[in-house]
Amino acid sequence: MDRAPAPYPRGRSMDLLYVFNRYFFENEYMHFGYWEHGLELKYANLKTAQQRYVEEFQKLIPADVHSMLDVGCGSGEMASQFLDKGYKVDCVCPPTILSHYASEKLAGRASVHEAKFEDLKLDGQSYDLIYFSESFQFINMRRAFEQCRRYGNQYMLVADVFRKDMPERGPIGGGHKYQDFLALVEEFGFEELANVDVTEFTGPGFDLESDAMENFIRPLVMVMGRIVNVNNSLLARFALFLNRKRLQRLRTKYLDNPGARNRDSFAEYKTYRFVLLKIR
């Protein structure tokens, strides 16, 4: 019997996104794409852009790395690629549908620790490289540095979005403060070996999202609302009532002003970095 993953609230939206991408686009990646100049911005090219992201990410892996820990491994697709290249890879991910798929995909090849990275406890294991591909923003930064020092032999690689030092957050959420991250690098004494700004190449994904919200999600929500009203389903109305606050937050964030979530606002308020650190 397949085990049912334990609930992890933050993972629910990622689970839904994974199921959607896997079915409609045969795509198992969960990260931003790397949109090179000349690559047409459309969903049909998302998988290509995400594969380019992996290739750019891999360029920062030092030659003396043989073992890795993938923190927040998603469906395990990136870990699977690195295993194919001959690396020893283990994963850690909170228990969700994604971790369930990762365990199945990597069975016999890698261990998938179903836990938050902050709470991870390993018995004598350590890794040449501990990497975060868009998972760092969901982890307490100080605990991340502490755990990397505990289980990392040599390197820490972070690929994620950070907030610029500005008085307001802007229309796009997510990301730790970049200055706070740099302060922790200095506090822990880690050496910065590489720091690549890829905001220009990841930001276009928000134009794609904005288009999807305006031309697919908004009409879909309107049609579903009409169906509920026409059918006058008491159960459906009750479900909407119970979830009204959450639905309003989602509407405010994604539907009320989808045009505000674009590459320009992303570049104004965020910075996307590939940062390689030497653990000291």
Give the type of residue at 136: F
pLDDT of amino acid 168: 85
pLDDT of amino acid 25: 61
Which residues have a Cβ under 8 Å from the Cβ of 117 and sit 6 or more positions away?
71, 72, 92, 135, 139, 143, 144, 147
pLDDT of amino acid 205: 86
Each residue's pLDDT tens digit in the chain (280 positions)?
A: 334 444 444 445 555 665 666 656 666 677 789 999 999 999 889 899 999 999 999 999 999 999 999 999 988 999 999 999 999 999 999 988 888 889 999 999 999 999 999 999 999 899 999 999 999 999 999 999 999 999 999 999 999 999 999 988 888 888 999 999 999 999 999 999 999 999 999 999 888 876 666 655 555 555 555 555 555 555 555 555 555 565 555 555 555 565 577 899 999 999 999 999 999 9
Which residues have a Cβ under 8 Å from the Cβ of 10 and sit 6 or more positions away?
94, 138
pLDDT of amino acid 5: 41
In terms of Cβ atoms closer than 10 Å to its own Cβ (0-12, 13-18, 19+), residue 82 is buried
pTM of the predicted structure, to 2 decimals: 0.81
At the fourth CATH level, the homologous superfamily of domain 9-200+268-278 is: Vaccinia Virus protein VP39 (3.40.50.150)
Domain regions of the chain by residue span: 9-200+268-278, 204-260
DSSP state of 76: S
Nearest-angstrom CA–CA distance, 121 and 160: 24
Q: How far is CA 181 from the centre of its chain?
A: 17
pLDDT of amino acid 96: 83
108 HSE (CA, 13 A, CB side): 1
Say which residue the tokens 């990275």 belong to.
Answer: 117
